[in-house]
Structure 1
Amino acid sequence: MEVQVKRSLVVPPPPRETEETPLTVFELVAPTYHVTVLFAFSPPNPTTRALLDALSATLPHFPLLTARLDRRGARRRPFFVTGRGGAGALVVEAEVSSDLADHLPLAPSPELARLHPPVNTDAPTPHVLLVQINRFACGGLVVASSAHHQAADGFSMSTFFHAWTDAVRRNGAPLLDRPVPYGPGALSPRRPPRCEFEHRGKEFLPHDGVTSRQGQGADTGAVRIDPSEVANVLLHYPSEFVAELKRRAQGKYTTFETVSAHVWKKITAVRGLDAGARTSVNVSVNGRARLGTGTVPNGFFGNLIINASSGATARELTTGTLADAAALIRAGIRAVDRRYFQSFIDFGALHVDGGRDEEEPLQQANVDEPGVLSPDVDSDSWLHLELHRLDMGLGGRLAGILPAKVPEDGVVVVMPSLRKSGGVEVFVALWEKHANELTSIAYTMD
């Protein structure tokens, strides 16, 4: 793939007064890296000028995406600098000499790194959002978005992508009439705040500094590899395959629960864990529907995610049924309910927003570390983000969605498939030896 960068520019932050917005308690436990996603659109497509005009009109409604993340001071809580003091959003325009059809369906490949600006390197970028617009010889597009996870979770980024494409179809006029709510002030703790659950040792390290993670964090004998040895693969499960999996799981579980259970069992099998070794599946749970507008306003932008964890021994998982594994995942997800989310917000009010973090610095309990082999699986659902409905008008269609290279072992993303056969696409990041074995058994049913 021959990619030629034509120019780079920065969409400036809105000309508002500079403000410092502390990270919320949810953002303090969010991953500290950029997440890159590629969107492929078949021709015909709007002009690059139309995309930029719409982007420039949309970004003022999302102040965190043109902000600057400041981590000054070892004991001071990080904060976003919005308004004139922000870094703006970096935009790269590029041309690709080949036709988009030559690269469809989108699948993990080292050459895809040419389609987005480098992020998560030793030279950190000041930009929260980086976008690369790649125009192919046929008129097709791949739009790559890299957004810092502490600024936005997947649901928030989906809101932004829809606002941007809406503005493209409306000739640069966004549907939004005011900035989206964000920051600690948008979250409502109870009065007085009260913690019903122990969040030190779960989301944050306990006072003794020992992590509670069941996987690599708790295992001092963790196996380390070069991050380049983590392979990314894409599994396509057609609608008929998903339906059969759900039938074998007694028809009681959602597509995400069923597919995650199937992939968890297969990954555990290829890893060859000792029978008594513990393995967990960690699922990102969105708190918006659980909390309601009384606690979080409509349109809240940022992070509102807590991980739900379900565990078993390798023997229990591999010898048990698909329904058994799906039931474990469901139980873990349901345990992170409204009370749990409200307790976490109240924990933030007591230990973060009240200023006590100056005396008691909070550290994440679960930190993704590239190049560490894990017995666990981190499964994320993009099925309800509505990304597959993105539309820039003019008759072109969304032809592919794909995360960029992920160097962490055990990451799974379940996405709706855009192929005619329907179903789901499952993105998996796994040590290459295990990844090769996974592709040979991923379509077999127990």
Structure 2
Amino acid sequence: MAVTVEITQSTVLEPSRESARGGGKKVPLTVFDRASTDGYIPAVFAWNAPAPTNDALKAGLVAAVARFPHLAGRFAADDHGRKCFHLNDAGVLVLEATADTDLADALAHDVSAHINELYPKAEKERANEPIFQAQLTRYACGGLVIGTACHHQVADGQSMSVFYTAWASAVRTDSAVLTSPFVDRSATVVPRSPPTPAYDHRNIEFKGELSWSHSYGVLLMDRIKNLAVHFPDEFIADLKARVGTRCSTFQCLLAHAWKKITAARDLAPDDFTQVRVAVNCRGRAKPPVPMDFFGNMVLWAFPRMQVRDLLSSSYPVVVSAIRDAVALVDDEYIQSFIDFGEAERGVIEDGGEELASTAATPGTMFCPDLEVDSWLGFRFHDLDFGCGPPCAFLPPDLPIEGIMIFVPSCDAKGGVDLFMALDDEHVQAFKQICYSME
């Protein structure tokens, strides 16, 4: 079914003078910011009619973004020529659009055919590009899709969930009662004196000569197929029962997906496979960083197993491998990473080469490995603009083979949705075994 989406209005919304909090300051990127993806990440949500008006959504967005000055700012260069945030309250971009069909019809058919028309096409290379952009698409029935594009170096998934919730609250209630997040980036990256990094971060989080990311190949884009798998609550409960020991929903589902994808890939038994697991460091740092900190505070764990061991091991063994790897991202590792950032800052300001993140680029083929992110802590029912929670999370195109995202299902019965990208050659085999616990 062909759907025509037409942009009807484009506006840059700036915080009012009374509410603006940027103050024109230039704020350095932290080492966590520099390790994240240097590009825009889209997110798309749908609401059935009746949905709030565009005017209400825009007014709430202005009120919310005033409390998140990094989102209303721009990227700039500091006195050393390094990329930084300019908190100049320049505003956020909002596009308004219409779609010529009912939302239910669009959701019932292949939404992926027009998903790329439902969020702004932000370009990091464009001068003065807004850091946060949103598109409000109104369907013929009155249904609404909100698609956003936010630069990853300004915020991780935890931070964006805090912002989305604040935006919804600003539309739903009196914006004067909105709370402000913790935005002091300097307080989250306090190095030791002198800085004493204890790990080889230049070859783990960044692209050094020995970096693990250098070994990955490239796959033709038409070979990278996106698919979604829904895991009902009953399936997850059965999986946890098989693990036996206490484990999180994320851990047990990752263990399952890792086993099934590896089997579908038909790898050699002697090969090794690992998963790049995003780890929220807020509660792991000492002292802990507030959970409402707005910025990036993610590092990665790398559980690794030989293929024959992964496929023959029980769920408790695989979950244990994941848990043990995540446990290595402790306060000492986090402090080492912060110290590394401080030591490198001096080198770069003296003319050294800028750090380059190991974040994958479109077309990357992770096979035999995987990368996973979790949005399971994002309570979608809080994303209520006054007419109820979203009826659907619509995954934008995932252009990297082997990437996975776990998302709480918008289905009334709960469960978890796994959105992933695989080589087309492995999709059918995975579909045949994705619910098997053998």
TM-score, normalization by structure 1: 0.89
- Counterpart CA distance in 2 for 1:35 and 1:124 is 18
3-state SS, counterpart of residue 376 of structure 2: coil
Q: Does the CA contact (< 8 Å) of 1:63 and 1:82 recur in 2? A: yes
> What is the aligned counterpart of 2:85 among 77, 80, 87?
80
Q: Which runs of 5+ in 2 are unaligned?
A: none
Moved more, 114-123 or 328-337: 114-123
Q: 1:321 deviation in Å?
A: 2.1
3-state SS, counterpart of residue 262 of structure 2: helix
Q: 1:380 deviation in Å?
A: 1.1
Q: 1:343 deviation in Å?
A: 2.1
1:39-438 map, 5 Å: 39-70=45-76, 76-84=81-89, 86=90, 88-104=91-107, 109-119=112-122, 126-173=129-176, 175-176=178-179, 180-206=182-208, 209-213=209-213, 217-219=214-216, 222=217, 224-291=218-285, 294=287, 296-297=289-290, 299-352=292-345, 354=346, 356-364=348-356, 366-374=358-366, 375-393=368-386, 395-438=387-430
Q: Give a deviation string over 1:370-413, Cα, whole Å, max 9, x none.
A: 223222111111111223431111x4332112331110111111
Q: 1:349 deviation in Å?
A: 2.6
Q: Quick one: structure 1 residues 388 and 328, their matched pair in 2 at CA, closer, same or farther if it must change by over 3 Å?
A: farther
RMSD over equivalenced CA pairs, Å: 2.6
- Counterpart CA distance in 1 for 2:14 and 2:136 is 17
3-state SS, counterpart of residue 263 of structure 2: helix
3-state SS, counterpart of residue 163 of structure 2: helix
Q: 1:362 deviation in Å?
A: 4.5
3-state SS, counterpart of residue 6 of structure 2: strand
Given residue 112 of structure 2, which amino acid in structure 1 is its aligned partner? S
Q: 1:132 deviation in Å?
A: 0.5
The answer for the alignment partner of 1:9 in structure 2 is: 11
Q: Quick one: structure 1 residues 80 and 289, their matched pair in 2 at CA, closer, same or farther if it must change by over 3 Å?
A: same
Given residue 281 of structure 2, which amino acid in structure 1 is its aligned partner? G
Moved more, 254-263 or 63-72: 63-72
- Counterpart CA distance in 2 for 1:295 and 1:187 is 11
Given residue 49 of structure 2, which amino acid in structure 1 is its aligned partner? P
Matched, 1:20 2:26: yes
Q: Does the CA contact (< 8 Å) of 1:62 and 1:180 recur in 2? A: no
- Counterpart CA distance in 2 for 1:371 and 1:153 is 22
Q: Which runs of 5+ in 1 are unaligned?
A: none
Moved more, 281-290 or 341-350: 341-350
Q: 1:431 deviation in Å?
A: 1.8
Q: Does the CA contact (< 8 Å) of 1:60 and 1:179 recur in 2? A: no
Q: 1:274 deviation in Å?
A: 2.0
- Counterpart CA distance in 2 for 1:236 and 1:397 is 19
Q: 1:18 deviation in Å?
A: 2.6
- Counterpart CA distance in 2 for 1:247 and 1:428 is 25
3-state SS, counterpart of residue 86 of structure 2: strand
Q: Does the CA contact (< 8 Å) of 2:275 and 2:303 recur in 1? A: yes
3-state SS, counterpart of residue 38 of structure 2: coil
> What is the aligned counterpart of 2:38 among 17, 32, 43?
32
Q: Does the CA contact (< 8 Å) of 1:54 and 1:173 recur in 2? A: no
Q: Does the CA contact (< 8 Å) of 1:58 and 1:174 recur in 2? A: no
Moved more, 279-288 or 396-405: 396-405
Percent identity of equivalent pairs: 35
Q: 1:39 deviation in Å?
A: 1.1
Q: 1:196 deviation in Å?
A: 3.4
Q: 1:181 deviation in Å?
A: 1.3
Q: Quick one: structure 1 residues 183 and 268, their matched pair in 2 at CA, closer, same or farther if it must change by over 3 Å?
A: same
Given residue 425 of structure 1, which amino acid in structure 2 is its aligned partner? D
Q: Quick one: structure 1 residues 44 and 263, their matched pair in 2 at CA, closer, same or farther if it must change by over 3 Å?
A: same
3-state SS, counterpart of residue 196 of structure 1: coil
Q: Give a deviation string over 1:214-245, Cα, whole Å, max 9, x none.
A: xxx225xx3x3222331111100111111111
Q: 1:162 deviation in Å?
A: 0.7
Q: 1:280 deviation in Å?
A: 0.6
Given residue 210 of structure 2, which amino acid in structure 1 is its aligned partner? V
- Counterpart CA distance in 1 for 2:146 and 2:177 is 19
3-state SS, counterpart of residue 360 of structure 2: coil
3-state SS, counterpart of residue 289 of structure 1: coil
Given residue 40 of structure 2, which amino acid in structure 1 is its aligned partner? H
- Counterpart CA distance in 2 for 1:120 and 1:308 is 30
TM-score, normalization by structure 2: 0.90
- Counterpart CA distance in 1 for 2:88 and 2:265 is 48
- Counterpart CA distance in 2 for 1:124 and 1:432 is 37
- Counterpart CA distance in 2 for 1:15 and 1:62 is 8
Q: Does the CA contact (< 8 Å) of 2:64 and 2:170 recur in 1? A: yes
- Counterpart CA distance in 2 for 1:272 and 1:125 is 47
3-state SS, counterpart of residue 66 of structure 1: coil
Q: Does the CA contact (< 8 Å) of 2:221 and 2:399 recur in 1? A: yes
